[in-house]
Amino acid sequence: MEQQYPYYDLQTARSMMGWIRKKIDELNDVKYLAENALMKGEKEAITLYTMATKNIIDEISNRGILIRDPAIGLVDFPAIINGKPAFLCWLTSEEDISFWHYVDEGFAGRRRITRQDDILSLL
């Protein structure tokens, strides 16, 4: 059965920004530690780092948030925009969540949020 995720409005997504930045930093820290352990031949440590990564990803995805690329901090928050399934799209290097795209468009379809965009919250 498919898991049902909440939809986010802009205010709710913005309230998650600090937490998401922290989680992505944790993911990148674990990746760095895993790479170092691998180079040192510490194979048993790789299992621990794999589990740590899975736990962080699960913690994020359990809130319905999608980490598209932790290396660049690409994050999507599910939303309904203009009556259609979409994502509030954010790079953690950006000061604010200012872009969105429909689910079938991806990052290339990012557009700036305007007052004309009707962002529905179902939380």
pLDDT per position as a tens digit, 62-84: 999 999 999 899 999 999 999 99
3-class state of residue 46 by DSSP: helix
Residue 5 pLDDT: 59
Q: How does pLDDT run across 40-55, given as a tens digit for each residue?
A: 988 888 888 989 999 9
Given a cut of 70, whether residue 1 has pLDDT beyond it is no
For residue 7, pLDDT over 50 is answered with yes
pLDDT > 90: percent of the chain: 72
In the block, residue with structure tokens 């709710």: 12
Q: Which two tokens stand for residue 33?
A: 């530690």
Residue 98 has φ and ψ, to the nearest 5°, of -125, 0
Q: Does 2 have pLDDT greater than 50?
A: no
Left, alpha or beta for 106 (phi > 0: left; psi -120 to 50: alpha)? Answer: left
pLDDT at 121 over 50: yes
pTM: 0.85
Spatial contact of 111 and 102, defined as CB atoms under 8 Å apart: no
Q: What is the pLDDT of residue 4?
A: 56
Six-digit token string for 118: 């009707």
- How high is the pLDDT of residue 20? 97
What's residue 122's pLDDT?
A: 59
Mean pLDDT across the stretch 83-94?
A: 95
Which residues have CB under 8 Å from 110's CB, separation 6+? 89, 99, 100, 101
